[in-house]
Amino acid sequence: MTSSLVTVEEAVEAIRRKIDQKWAEAVCAERGGEAPVTYSVPLRPGLSTGKSVGQIGYDLWHEWHTAWRAFDTQFISGAVGLEIIRKPVTIRGVTDEFPATLIAETATAAIELVHQAQGRLPAVDIDHARRLATSLAAVGATLTPATLKATYRLAEPDTSVLFAAVSWLRDHPDVSAWTARQLPVPGMHSKWLETHGALLAMVTGRDVRSEVRPRLAVVHLTYVDPDYTASGRRRHDSWTTGDVHDLAYEPRVVLIVENRDCRLWFPPAGDSIIVEGSGKAAGSLLAGIAWIRAAEHIFYWGDIDADGYTILDRLRAAMAAPAPDGMPAKTVHSILMDATDLHRYAHHGVNHDKAGRPIKPSSTRLTNLTQAEAAAYDAVATAGPAPFRRIEQEAIPLHDAAGRLESLIDTLATTTLSP
What is the distance between the alpha carbons of residues 15 and 375, in angstroms, rounded to a whole number?
A: 46
Please name the residues in contact with 207: beta carbons below 8 A apart, sequence gap of 6 or more: 197, 201
- 308: Cβ contacts below 8 Å, ≥ 6 apart: 258, 302, 337, 393
Q: Which segments of 143-289 are extended strands (E)? A: 218-223, 236-240, 253-257, 272-276
Residues 6 or more apart whose CB falls under 8 angstroms from that of 220 comprise 236, 237, 238, 260, 263, 275, 276
**∠ CA 334-340-342, rounded to 5°:** 85
Phi, psi (5° rounding) for residue 254? -120, 125
Distance from C-alpha of 181 to C-alpha of 197, rounded to nearest angstrom: 12
Mind listing the pLDDT tens digit of every residue in the chain (419 residues)?
Answer: 567 899 999 999 999 999 999 999 999 999 886 788 999 999 999 899 999 999 999 999 999 999 999 999 999 998 999 999 999 999 988 999 999 999 999 999 999 999 999 988 888 999 999 999 999 999 999 999 999 999 999 999 999 999 999 999 999 999 999 998 999 999 999 889 989 999 999 999 999 999 998 877 789 999 999 999 999 999 999 988 778 778 999 999 999 999 999 999 999 999 999 999 877 777 778 888 889 999 999 999 999 999 999 999 999 999 998 877 788 899 999 999 999 999 999 999 999 998 899 999 999 999 999 999 999 999 999 999 999 999 999 999 999 999 999 999 999 887 754 44
Pairing of strands 332-334, 39-42: unpaired
Domain ranges of the chain: 8-124, 127-211, 218-417
8 Å CB contact between 262 and 396: no
Contacts of 24 (CB under 8 A, 6+ apart): 129, 145, 146, 148, 149, 152
Position 407 scores a pLDDT of 95
Enumerate long-range contacts of 8-14, CB under 8 Å, 24 or more apart.
8/67, 8/68, 8/71, 8/117, 11/41, 11/43, 11/102, 12/113, 12/114, 12/117, 12/118, 13/118, 14/41
Measured between alpha carbons, how far is 209 from 211 in angstroms, rounded to an integer?
6
For residue 419, what pLDDT is reported?
45
Please write down the HEC assignment for all residues of 256-274: EECCHHHHHCCCCCCCEEE
Number of alpha helices (DSSP H) and beta strands (DSSP E) in the chain: 17, 9
CA distance 390 to 183: 36
Q: Burial, 241: exposed, middle or buried (Cβ in 10 Å; 0-12, 13-18, 19+)?
A: middle
Find all residues with CB under 8 Å of 2, minimum gap 6, and list them.
46
Q: What is the pLDDT of residue 418?
A: 47
What span, in angstroms and rounded, lies between the C-alpha atoms of 64 and 135? 46
